[in-house]
Amino acid sequence: MKTIEIRIAGRVQGVGFRACVKRIATNLGVGGAVMNLPDGRVLITATGEPVILDKFVSMLYGCPRVVIRDLSEREIPNAAYPEFTIQRSAYQYST
């Protein structure tokens, strides 16, 4: 098992990208979370077998209405997730 953090820039907010990411992750059995960042990017944390994570990342490009301009991926310490969730963004909690 391996855990990766992915940051994606482009047209990725307000187009259903987080729901698409969750659907792909659930279908592949990947655990983790996806959330919007205040700077317009999306942050994904994903845990799974390395070959499955490679497939997961490549499938992100197929989400409808999404334009990925930059994708950075790095391995982080292994984390266990019971499922894949959509998290609210930090900036959505401010008043």
pLDDT digits (tens, 9 = 90+) for 51-89: 999 999 999 999 999 999 999 999 999 999 989 999 987
In a domain, 30, yes or no: yes
What's the domain count of the chain? 1
Question: Residue type at 63?
Answer: C
In a domain, 95, yes or no: no
CATH code for position 58: 3.30.70.100
Does residue 36 have an active-site annotation?
yes
CA distances from 83 to 46, 48, 94 (A): 10, 11, 27
Q: Which of 3, 43, 50 is nearest to 21 (CA)?
A: 43
Does residue 78 have an active-site annotation?
no
Q: What is the pLDDT of residue 94?
A: 39
Parent domain of 19: 2-87
Give yes or no for residue 91 having a pLDDT over 70: no
- pTM for this predicted structure: 0.92
Of the listed 7, 11, 18, 27, which one is catalytic?
18
Of the listed 11, 23, 27, 36, which one is catalytic?
36
